Amino acid sequence: MNIEFLTVSLLVVASPGTGAAVTIATGLSRGTRTALVAALGCTLGIVPHMLAAVTGLAALLHASAPAFEAVKFAGAAYLLLLAWMTWRERGVLELKADDAERSDWQVVRHAVMVNLLNPKLSMFFVAFLPQFIARDEAAPTLAMLELSAIFMAMTFAVFAVYGTFAARMRERVLGSPAVMAWLRRSFAATFVALGAKLALTQR
- Spatial contact of 53 and 125, defined as CB atoms under 8 Å apart: yes
Using one digit for the tens of pLDDT, what is the confidence trace for 65-109? 676 677 667 667 766 776 776 666 544 444 443 445 568 888 898
Q: What share of the chain is helix, strand, coil (3-state, %, to 5)?
A: 80, 0, 20
Using one digit for the tens of pLDDT, what is the confidence trace for 39-54? 999 999 999 888 877 7
How far apart (Å, rounded) are the C-alpha atoms in residues 62 and 122? 8
pTM score > 0.75 for this model? no
Instruction: Write down the domain spans for the chain.
Output: 18-199
